[in-house]
Amino acid sequence: MSQGLLYPEHIPLVLAALEEMAASRSWHARFSVLTYLQITVFYNLFTLLSLPAEVLRIRKLVMQLLLDEQLEVRDMACTTLSGLLQCQFFPLDSCLQTQLQTLSQTSLPKARGELASMDLVRRHAGVLGLSACILSSPYDVPQWMPQILMELSDHLNDPQPIEVRKQHARACSQTTRSNQCELKEYNFILQLRRKLCLWPFFKHEADVQCNPQSRQCAGEDNLVLLLLQSGGDDEE
């Protein structure tokens, strides 16, 4: 059902049903709301973007589940928020960033009890939201990223279940891995261009080995293969 195309007049009814499920006592039902949203938004992206009011409802729904009392639901809300930000379903504006930073700065009282646990949930939700922002931009370093990384570094010693060390490491490692792939490809292109500057010195030898019938120069093909092989060796 989540892969079906929705008509614009049916979207409010679907979101109303999802909001009702998000208030269910079963955390499995609340968890399924997020998995359904991920696929439905992808298959109906342009239809939903034409309805700003429904986009706002989905944003509020994800933020509501990010504050869920169940850890598994909060983790899935983090993944959903990251995907929605990455496909630019709604922007990471200053309002959302301030909201997440405010949640992450919730103070934790020393006394144990229901109040302390709710404060822990709010703080964890803020940290998860900031991690989702980092994961939403794996191939770029926007202007807001350094500030959010600094915000996450303040939670390295937070109690469980925040475990910001793992979340911070996962967000940073995925971003760094993606940037390293681009960096290797970019360095290989630079090396190839630099070595191609030597082509005039080999052009005479390539013309000698040229086959006039096929009009293909074996020397040129061999040189390109040599450059590609040497570039691959340099990359490794």
Residue for token digits 């404060």?
119
Q: Are 84 and 62 in contact (CB under 8 A)?
A: yes
Together in a domain, 62 and 177? yes
Angle, helices 114-135 vs 164-196, to 10°: value is: 10
Q: Which residue has the higher pLDDT, 85 or 149?
A: 85
Beta bridge partners of 216: 211
Together in a domain, 161 and 206? no
Q: Quick check: is 24 in a domain?
A: yes
* pLDDT tens string 143-152: 888 888 888 8
Average pLDDT over residues 50-67: 95
Tokens found for residue 5: 């195309």
Q: Is the pLDDT of residue 14 over 70?
A: yes
Together in a domain, 67 and 94? yes
* pLDDT tens string 121-167: 999 999 999 999 988 888 777 888 888 888 887 777 777 776 655 55
Neighbours of 65 (CB within 10 A): 24
Together in a domain, 160 and 219? no
Of the listed ranges 70-74, 117-121, 126-130, 224-228, the one predicted with least confidence: 224-228
Handedness of CA 47, 48, 52, 54 (dihedral sign): positive
Domain region containing 220:
198-235
Secondary structure tally for the chain: helices H, strands E: 11, 2
Neighbours of 30 (CB within 10 A): 23
Q: Quick check: is 192 in a domain?
A: no
Average pLDDT over residues 32-56: 93
Q: Quick check: is 3 in a domain?
A: no
Q: Quick check: is 176 in a domain?
A: yes
Average pLDDT over residues 89-117: 81
Together in a domain, 163 and 67? yes
Q: Is the pLDDT of residue 39 over 70?
A: yes
Q: What is the mean pLDDT of the chain?
A: 76
d(CA 116, CA 113): 5
Average pLDDT over residues 67-77: 93
80 CB-side CA count, 13 A: 27
Number of domains in the chain: 2
First to last CA, the chain: 46
d(CA 51, CA 6): 12
Q: Is the pLDDT of residue 91 over 60?
A: yes
Q: Is the pLDDT of residue 213 over 70?
A: no
Of 46, 42, 44, the closest CA to residue 83 belongs to: 42
Q: What Cα–Cα distance (Å) separates residue 144 from each residue in 86, 97, 137, 148, 150?
A: 14, 9, 11, 7, 10
Average pLDDT over residues 57-63: 95
Together in a domain, 227 and 164? no
Q: Is the pLDDT of residue 206 over 80?
A: no
pLDDT of amino acid 184: 55
Q: Band of the pLDDT at 106, cuts 50, 70, 90?
A: confident
pLDDT of amino acid 159: 74
Together in a domain, 143 and 211? no
Average pLDDT over residues 77-101: 92
d(CA 207, CA 91): 57
Q: Is the pLDDT of residue 35 over 90?
A: yes
> What is the pTM for the complete model shown?
0.68
